[in-house]
Each structure stands twice: as structure tokens, then as C-alpha cells.
Amino acid sequence: MAFDSIFKAELFQGHTVVVTGGGSGIGRCTAHELAALGARVILVGRKPEKLHAVAAQIAEDGGSAHGYACDIRDEVAVKALVGQIIAEHGAIHGLVNNAGGQYPSPLASINQKGFETVLRTNLVGGFLMAREVFNQCMSTHGGAIVNMLADMWGGMPGMGHSGAARAGMDNFTKTAAFEWGYAGVRVNAVAPGWIASSGMDTYEGAFKAVIPTLREHVPLKRIGTESEVSAAIVFLLSPAAAFISGSTLRIDGAASLGNRAWPLHKAAVPSAPFNGFHRAYLPDVLKAQD
């Protein structure tokens, strides 16, 4: 089997695309789709064993992928990484700034170290990757960058550190799009809502108990799939989005809209999910529902 992408085969043939956080979740799915469309995928993450496992899967499916372990919060390491990628694989045509992480906590319980750690992971690391890819490569030949956000539009209660970082990344996306447009560089972002991804199984306690109920708070009455996020990322990297820059695409089933004054109805017409990822799996926390 292979990734069942809606995009034409060989769309990214001859292109090198870097995917941070490519060892799991949405990053893993996106890497598989890009490779299925002909891209040479560069997987970046902190755990080499996860990167190598994904690279092996992609190779088994007939694609090309290489893994590089790096802490994207380390400026010196990021500079060296980007230089190494260019030296070994040539120009970087696309960057998917997917790496991130957070933990549930009310603001009053987050200490300075925890707050800064999440900001460095979800905002500073993405900035460093984008800056170095631009300075070392895209400033001379153009390219496309897609940043990862989240549904933080009405605040992000329970994850205020991540909400602050994601809001910062939204503004960074707009600023970079304006400043770097002269070089033929497009910068956009995606903002997923609740997506059935391996990250859901990392949560414990009260937050874990809430996850199976999330679909009831989505107008489309379901959780999204990794493939639905990957397809949006691939579109923004593609020539079809050549005049789109500085935009953030929400992928949340309209959950970020409306308010409690307008109650949601029960599902009448099922919303059919798109799932083209042949290696996708349902998070354990959701299996009891299906």
C-alpha cells in the first residue's frame, strides 16, 4: 500500500523538504505524504530512533527520507544542522515547522522554567529553523515554509504556555511572509484543532478523560485525522498556493467559532473524514468509541 494523496504524483519530485518533529504524529504523516509525492524528506527531531523508524517506513514504501537528530531550541545546533542538510542534499525547497510539545496545566501552576520551555519548543525553535533556512538557502532561490499552530483563537485554558507560543508563531508567520516575500519565500501556517494523533496518548489524568468527549464540541461532530492536516500543509507548499503567504489555515471542524450562547445540535448528516495515510492508527484513548 501507499499514501493515498489527493495531489498528483511527483508533485515534489526533485525537491528537498525538511519536516521537524517528523518522528511521530502529524509530522510523520506529512513526511509520508511528501515522500509519496516525490520529495526528498529530511526528518528532524530529538530522538534518532524514531526518525530512523519513520525513514525506514518511507523507504519501504518507495520514498526517500533521511533523519537528523537535533534540538531545535539550540541556536548553534540549528545553524550547523541546516548547513549540513544543504551540504549533503542541496537546496531546501520547503520547511514544515511541525515540532512542538506542551503539557496541561492552569496558568497559576506553571513555573517560569515550564513556561519558557514550551515557548522555546513551540516558538523559538520554529523561528530558529525558519531563520536559518532563509539565511542559508531560501534567500537566494525562494521556497515555502509552513508553521504549526493550534486552536488558540479564544485563549487556550489549561495550556496557556502553548497558547502564548502559538499566538506568537501566528504573528511570526505574518511578519516573515512580509519581510521575506521579496526573495520568493512564502510563509504560511496551519492551526489544527482536535486531531486523532499519537500525541493524544501522552496525556494523563483529567485531561485524558476529556479527550473522548471532544467530538461533541465540534460542529462537524468528529475528531480530525492526521491526513486532513497533512493535505493542508502539502497544499500550502505546492505551486497551487503560489500567491498565498502570511495566512493561517484553521483545520478544526469550525470548533474555534461560535460561543456557548449558540448550542450545538446533535449530528444529523455524518461528516466523512479523509484518511489517506495507510500507516495511520487510532490513538488508544479513542479506541473505546469506535
Closest CA to 192 of 237, 156, 226, 239: 226
Average pLDDT of every residue of the chain: 94
Give the number of other CB atoms < 10 A from CB of residue 141: 12
In Å, how far from its chain's centre is CA 224?
14
* Stated pTM of the model: 0.94
pLDDT for res 204: 75
pLDDT, greater one: 259 or 71: 71
Residue 43 host element (H or E) = strand 40-45
pLDDT for res 289: 58
What are 21-54's pLDDT values in tens digits?
A: 999 999 999 999 999 999 999 999 999 999 999 9
For residue 24, the 8-state DSSP code is S
Query: How would you classify the pairing of strands 64-69 and 40-45?
Result: parallel
- What distance in Å separates the CA atoms of residue 72 and residue 43, rounded to the nearest whole number? 12
Map out the domains of the chain as residue ranges.
16-272+279-289
Residue positions counted in the chain: 290
- 1 confidence band (pLDDT: 50, 70, 90): confident
- What distance in Å separates the CA atoms of residue 288 and residue 201, rounded to the nearest whole number? 13
- Report the interhelical angle of 75-89 vs 125-133 (nearest 10°): 40
- 215 confidence band (pLDDT: 50, 70, 90): confident
Q: Collapsing DSSP states into helix, strand and coil, what is residue 176? A: helix
Q: Assign domain 16-272+279-289 to a CATH class.
A: alpha beta
